[in-house]
Structures are given as structure tokens and as C-alpha cells.
Structure 1
């Protein structure tokens, strides 16, 4: 491992486990570093290294942090400090190709921060392979989201342990499996593409108006259905396994209308999430997702807030019918109870906004952006329904605030399919509605 950077042809797959900030302004502290050196010619593991790391502040290891990766204060109390292992980490990484899942926005940043804290120059990569970006662009959304746990479940590799060396090896196996599938598909594209979901943006586009036809949209949906029948997602054997969502009587697969929800069967539970755990809302042991029609836009697209990647946090505000308010209030209550029982001191932000009067409650629907290479696109599917009742999916080549704002004018009626995402971040907690699909009714 001590060869010069010119000779360093190995790929350094690495991963960090860190604390979870519990207050505003608090940074991440590295608790574990793990890396394997891989031969780029045959992807054979040549050597490995992992170590726990003692943080500068012992109390940075919180309950939430332990719940995420299982690394306790006692475990790191006798571990070396980052300063004591900095030379080893520098030698492993410097001048090599770096690889890992979401390393550009997380692991690489934490490494540079850690070296800056000890006033040492950080290692520099010869090149970087972020498998999150790579697989998003090439493998698409056929395995659901692109988190490592979801990909590992899709390929039957077991449950993600959230320990550095295990996660690094899992990352490499996922990469091999994705490459094998893509290689096979490329050999017989006319056959495989009829039963594979190849891309999150695979809908054909009419060049004259930028919209996909309803026939094309239905064809895409049929391809998704075929793929799910041929290869159902494997369930992990751990205590956090999630059942496959069922179809409500309303006919919207995986999404329940408010009148289909029985409040006593609502519950909240911690489930594994990339680099941490999160709270998931369930209805009759199935992840809760809702559908509602006739929602009137109160305020158009808001873009004044930014996410951690510097992208706008897009959202619209809609009026809430009473039956949907009832379900959202109950979801709010069970989520808040679990977070408070876990010892969180975060301020709870109610989901339904009643500041404009109890007779006109509103809620915010978030429209997330997804990085597709250097271009940001909408993760939410957006459709437009004509007066005839026919709907067409709108396909956008990139994020355009003005274009989006013109679609969601105040007073516009929309049908919304959305998930309920519970968050506890930087001393604020609550439930966020994330739009999966929006259907705009023409006025």
C-alpha cells in the first residue's frame, strides 16, 4: 500500500459511519472508517482496513446515532482518535481512485473536514466513482429508490448492516450485479427492454410538445407490471422487513383514499434507512401512502428554501378536505409520540396548517428534485388531465421553475398521490408530504 501515486491503480472503495447531529450547527464526527482495495481488472479484493474512531466529544454519540449503526460510546471509548489513524487513512486513499455510494456529497466531505480539524492536508483522489450517481444514470429506478439497502434487497444480498467494511463489500457486490444485468440487456435489447424498467426517464417524448401520449404512458406502466411479476422484491429477514404495498379499493395501487384508512390501524415504527434509521408510517402493516382528488392549490410553487445539495425545495400549498385532515392529524399524532418517546428534544411542526382558521386548513405538498447527471429533474410524476378526462404525462428535460409555476396556479385542482415522510432534523421534527404523482385538472 505504500507505492507511489503513479503506480496506484487500485480502486479504494470506502465508507464512513458517523454521528448524527442532534442540534443546529453541530457537525458529523467519524466513528468508523472502512476500505477495501480492489483490482480494477477483475474486481478482486486485494486488501482491507477498518477501524473504530474515538470522537473528540464523547457525547456526540447519541441515542439516534447508536440506533443508526449500533456503535456505542463504550465501543469507541478505547478506539484511536482520527489523528492517530490519519496517516493510515491518507496512505489508503491518496492518489487512488475513490469509490462508494453517495461519497461525493457525504463521505468525501467528511474526510476533508476531519483532516482540516487536525490541520493536515487531506488525501486527494486520482478519480472518483460515486455509485449512487452512476447507478441512477444507468440502472434506473427498477429497484425502487437507489439507496444501498434497497439495491441489496433487490439482488437478495441481505440486510445492510450500516458498518463500514460490510457496507463497502455490499456496495461492490451490488455494482457487480447491476453491471451483469446491464450487460445481458445490452446483448439482446429488443427482447430485454420489453420486460425491463430501464430508466426513470424512459417514457418516449413527442418532440412537438414535450409531452408523452397516454398510450405511451400506459405502455410504460405495463412494462413496470411485467417486471414486478417476473422479479418481485425479496423481503429481508430482519425485524424491519416491509410488506409489499397492497391496492386499495379505490383502484390506485399502493395508495389509499382517506375513507379507506382506519385510524386504529395506523402505527409508526423505526425502519432501516441509508446511513441511519427513519420512522415509517404503516396502515395494517403496509407503508402508508395516500391518494386524494379535488385538492385546490392555495399557493403556487415555493422555491425559497434549499436542500443540502443546494437544490430548491419545491412545494405547493393546497386546501385540505375534512376527511383527509382527520387522517393526517392521526398520522401526525402517532409519529410525534414515537419521536418524543425516543428521547428527541426537537420542536414538533404540525403537518396541517390551521393558522388561516380552522375552517380552511392547508398542507404543503413537496415536489422533490432528482439529480440526473448534471441536470436536476422532477422526481414527482406530473400529468395534465384534459376536459375529456384523458391524461397525459408531462415529460421535462430539466428543472424549470417558471414552467412549473405556470402549471400550479392558485385555484388549480389537482389529484395527488403522496407518501408521508417523518423527519427529525436540526431540532425540528414532523411529517412531510412528498408528492409521487400529481394530476393537474385543466380549468
Structure 2
């Protein structure tokens, strides 16, 4: 039964009562997904347009309950043509939908204290949830564990399915087109995990018969290809459900993040490091002057002609595409000497278990920033034109108050 403007609180209360049917220890896995607007200018944030979640029994991997609703953003003008192209959610579809404030209690009750699961949730969905709660001055829900299927499957299943995006994985296993609607996506996410787990189980049971290469499917495709096809057959729904539906009645662990070995390697005499750096520079210079493979094909940032930069799509892995940067129609390779590198543990970047990762940042000189900014703009434009709606992160980072001190994060 859809929510209406006249009685949103009635439905929200009923949702909370139904949520009480779950176990007291909150052992269910909360698979969730958000659909958002797509920022079209620098500094513009994301606005949640739809939230969908299912609670899954961790012992049987069956869906116990579900919840989904469209969400009306504070500023409807953020729903751009690009945003509609990505998920099909229009201004008209959300005009009578509840705001995030209206559903905040329900979202909190679904997520808080449970294991969170989803595809690329650590980099995207979790951040959007925390931002949404911060905007209404409410404490955000916290998970007792996280399962990011993008990270887990990339590590355990490998890239045999292509770029490992949900649409590609769904095509690989013959699960149909991704609709880019929250509830459909989380259910597809659960099915993809089941299929991947089955394949890995078979391979581990009979490794001599079931090799990894034997499972490469000709169905592998890119997300942009599947989206273009799905737009011809899928009509976005403008209705939204504000009820949790009860139905009839796995997480992968990685090795602990250990910096001990890295710390041992980094304890060196400063003089030794300086000598090693000098030795590397000398060998690189000798290699370049000799015309060998070393640095001969690399260009210093000052020697790069900005108008001569261009980008193109080239074949990548199992039918997928990647963006290649060209300089005068040749692949661009940039050489930057003696950059200042800083590193440390950053809570903004976490692994698939939610633990902070070691982060490396380079101070970028103006000449390098000019090259990277141009390449970034060209690549983003090509990505959008090719139909991709993936979150885009600028290569060069400029923080408020430190605009004249740009940095580049190493991947």
C-alpha cells in the first residue's frame, strides 16, 4: 500500500511494529541500496531519491522482510536529466513522496546494530546514509559489521565476470537486466552472492575439474551496455511503497590488516633512503637517454601540450571498456620527479570489513594539476556520454581553506 501525504505517520508507525517481528539480537543481514541524484557541478552533493532494504536470515539466506520508498529531496532541481537517465526517477515521481526526515526512524531501525550488506556500499551507500542523517541533525545508524559484495567478490571471485558491477554480474549469471531501483537491486545483489558462492564451492570441491577459467561466461558485458538495453524495455515506476512486507519463512572474512611487515621495511637509515633515491634517479635518466623502455616514452608535465590531450574508449577485460588518455594521439605517460608523498591510516577509506586503510597522498605541483584536471574533465565527459552513472571522484583534491595546496591520492 503506497504512502500518501495525508497519513505518512500512520504508515511509519505500522512499519515499526512490523520491524518488531525480527529477532531481538538483530542478527539479520540488512541488504540495502540508495538511488540518488547525480551531481552536475563542483561542490554539489548527492540527494537520496529512493531507499530500499531487505532483511535476510544469515543461516538460510532467505528474505524475511522488505522496505522501499521514494524520497523527496529538499531541492527538486537537483534531479537533472543525467540523474533521470541513471535511475529513471523523475521530479514528478517524488513530488508527493516523504522526505528523508519522514522515514529516518524507519531507516535507523532497519540498519542500526545489524550487519550491512550491499554492492559498493562502503564507498557510496554508507556515506549517503550518514550524510542524510547529518543533514537532519540526527545520529546515523551504525553497523555491527559490513559486507561490501563489490570488494568481497573482486577478492574471492575475481574479475572473470568483467568489471564486477552489479549489471555485469547479473548478465554473467543470466539474472536479467538491472533496473537501478533500490529494492530490485538489493534482491539481485543477494542472488548474485548466492550464485558466486555456489561457483566457488564447486571449484573448491573439485579444483582439478572446475578450474576458474572454465567458468568465464560469454554473457559478460559492461554496465553501460546493459543500461542502454534496459532503457528500451524497462519503464520506471513512479509508485513507492512504505510498508515492510513479511514473507514466508555469508559474509567473507579477510586477513587482519597488519602493518607490522610494512613497518619493518620502512625503518631505514635516512641516508640510505637518500642514496637509494639518487640511484633510482640516475638509472632512470640513463635509461631515458639510452632510448630504452625506462622513461623514454614518459613526458614531464611542463612538456605536455594541454590542447593535444584527448580521451578514448579502448577494449579492456572480457568485453568491457576503459578510458585511455592520449597526447597527440599516443597514450599519455607522465613523469614527475621528487614529489612529496604523505601516508597514514585514513578512516575515510576502508576495506570490505570496514577497517581503515593505508592512504597515500601526493602534493601536486601546478603543472601536474593542469594536466590532471584536463584529463579528468575529458574522461568524465566521455564516461557520461557512454551512459555510465558511476560515482565520479576528481583526481585532484582541493580542500576548503587549502585550495592552493592540491593533492592527488594514489590508487
- 2:218 aligns with 232
TM superposition shift of 1:191: 2.2
- 2:332 aligns with 364
More strand by percentage? 1
Residues 104, 26 of structure 1: alpha-carbon distance in 2 compared, 3 angstrom cutoff: same
TM superposition shift of 1:192: 1.7
Structure 2 distance, partners of 1:117, 1:38, is 29
- 1:253 aligns with none
Residues 188, 179 of structure 1: alpha-carbon distance in 2 compared, 3 angstrom cutoff: same
Matched, 1:88 2:106: yes
3-state SS of the aligned residue for 1:31?
strand
List runs of 5+ in structure 2 lacking aligned partners: 1-18, 232-292, 314-323, 335-349, 362-378, 385-390, 395-411
Structure 1 distance, partners of 2:38, 2:149, is 23
Checking the alignment, whether the CA contact within 8 Å between 1:24 and 1:427 is kept in structure 2 is: no
Structure 2 distance, partners of 1:101, 1:426, is 16
* RMSD, aligned CA: 4.3
Residues 422, 399 of structure 1: alpha-carbon distance in 2 compared, 3 angstrom cutoff: same
Checking the alignment, whether the CA contact within 8 Å between 1:318 and 1:365 is kept in structure 2 is: no
Matched, 1:423 2:383: yes
TM superposition shift of 1:126: 1.4
3-state SS of the aligned residue for 2:82?
helix
Checking the alignment, whether the CA contact within 8 Å between 2:162 and 2:220 is kept in structure 1 is: no
TM superposition shift of 1:39: 0.5
- 1:381 aligns with none
- 1:32 aligns with 50
Matches within 5 A, 1:309-348: none
Q: Which residue, out of 130, 133, 147, partners 1:115?
A: 133
Residues 179, 351 of structure 1: alpha-carbon distance in 2 compared, 3 angstrom cutoff: closer
Structure 1 distance, partners of 2:381, 2:47, is 26
TM superposition shift of 1:297: 1.3
TM superposition shift of 1:11: 0.5
- 2:33 aligns with 15
Checking the alignment, whether the CA contact within 8 Å between 1:35 and 1:49 is kept in structure 2 is: yes
Structure 2 distance, partners of 1:330, 1:41, is 48
List runs of 5+ in structure 1 lacking aligned partners: 198-225, 243-269, 274-293, 303-316, 320-324, 333-349, 355-360, 375-397, 402-418, 429-443
Residues 142, 240 of structure 1: alpha-carbon distance in 2 compared, 3 angstrom cutoff: closer
Checking the alignment, whether the CA contact within 8 Å between 1:52 and 1:76 is kept in structure 2 is: yes
Structure 2 distance, partners of 1:33, 1:241, is 22
Matches within 5 A, 1:166-315: 166-193=184-211, 196-197=212-213, 227-228=215-216, 231-233=217-219, 240=225, 297-299=297-299
TM superposition shift of 1:298: 3.0
TM superposition shift of 1:296: 5.2
Structure 1 distance, partners of 2:206, 2:110, is 40
- 2:20 aligns with 2
Structure 2 distance, partners of 1:362, 1:35, is 47
Checking the alignment, whether the CA contact within 8 Å between 2:30 and 2:116 is kept in structure 1 is: yes
- 2:371 aligns with none
Checking the alignment, whether the CA contact within 8 Å between 1:5 and 1:95 is kept in structure 2 is: no
Residues 235, 53 of structure 1: alpha-carbon distance in 2 compared, 3 angstrom cutoff: same
Structure 2 distance, partners of 1:61, 1:184, is 45
Structure 1 distance, partners of 2:380, 2:47, is 29
Structure 2 distance, partners of 1:36, 1:65, is 24
Residues 330, 185 of structure 1: alpha-carbon distance in 2 compared, 3 angstrom cutoff: closer
> Which digits, 9 at most, give the CA deviation of each residue in 1:279-321, with x for residues without a partner?
xxxxxxxxxxxxxxx9951327x8xxxxxxxxxxxxxx999xx
Checking the alignment, whether the CA contact within 8 Å between 2:112 and 2:141 is kept in structure 1 is: yes
- 1:385 aligns with none
Structure 1 distance, partners of 2:120, 2:142, is 17
TM superposition shift of 1:330: 10
Higher RCO, 1 vs 2 (CA within 8 Å, ≥6 residues apart): 2
